[in-house]
Structure 1
Amino acid sequence: MEGNIFSIEVISQGKYESWEFKNEVARDELFKKIMDRYQEHAIKEKSDDVDDSSILQLSATSLKIKEDGNVDQQVPYEWYDANQFGDLLDYINNEYPKY
């Protein structure tokens, strides 16, 4: 049986929130709106030695379960200033019902 999960996830300082979508198109549309709105808070240089407490990670997960049981997962992500966590959550919670 094939099954797909399309979601947006936010992780910051041990806090985790996620929102699921009916399809990839709707999820991608909101993901792009979020990226556009918060671009001035984006952290362009992603490095392994970053202080996790200073960032929030926004990701768009596409999990596709194929008929043979294999899983194809893609998770593009962006990093933002952790101070934006509350504002970003409010924005997503406000926009999500439109999708």
Structure 2
Amino acid sequence: MEGNIFSIEIISQGKYESWEFKNEEARDELFNKILKRFNDHAIADKNDDVDDSRIVQLSATSLKIKEDGNVDQQVPYEWYEADQFEQLLEFINNEYPKY
């Protein structure tokens, strides 16, 4: 039975990229590095009526499958200006091999 899945994902205007990690600590370390690096481009106001075409969503997924088959999922996320997609992609692709 597959246990846990830890990943970072970015999605924007139908473009989607995802990176898997062997553990939560490695994923959190890179996620926090991304948050710091792109802090100036973060969109603080995450309200539901935002125009999706104007944002990149960065998320850190923790999917834990418990013994009883129940799933515990946590997905903290941040929003960034849509024009940051390529920069986020490049930054993550450059950093990911270290993890």
- Residue 56 (structure 1) aligns with: 56
d(CA) in 2 for partners of 1:67 and 1:32?
29
Deviation readout 1:3-53 (Å, 9 max, x if unpaired): 000000001001110000000000000000000000000000001000000
- Residue 89 (structure 1) aligns with: 89
Query: Which SS does the other structure have where 2:96 is aligned?
Result: helix
Misfit runs of 4+, over 4 Å: none
d(CA) in 2 for partners of 1:73 and 1:46?
20
- Residue 45 (structure 2) aligns with: 45
Q: Which structure 2 residues correspond to residues 20-39 of structure 1 after superposition, within 5 A?
A: 20-39=20-39
Aligned positions, number: 99
Query: Which SS does the other structure have where 2:72 is aligned?
Result: strand
d(CA) in 2 for partners of 1:90 and 1:38?
12
Query: Which SS does the other structure have where 2:57 is aligned?
Result: strand
Query: Which SS does the other structure have where 2:61 is aligned?
Result: strand
CA RMSD after TM alignment? 0.8
Is 1:2–1:66's contact at 8 Å kept on the other side of the alignment?
no
TM-score, structure 1 length as denominator? 0.98
Give 1:38's aligned amino acid. Answer: F
Query: Which SS does the other structure have where 1:35 is aligned?
Result: helix
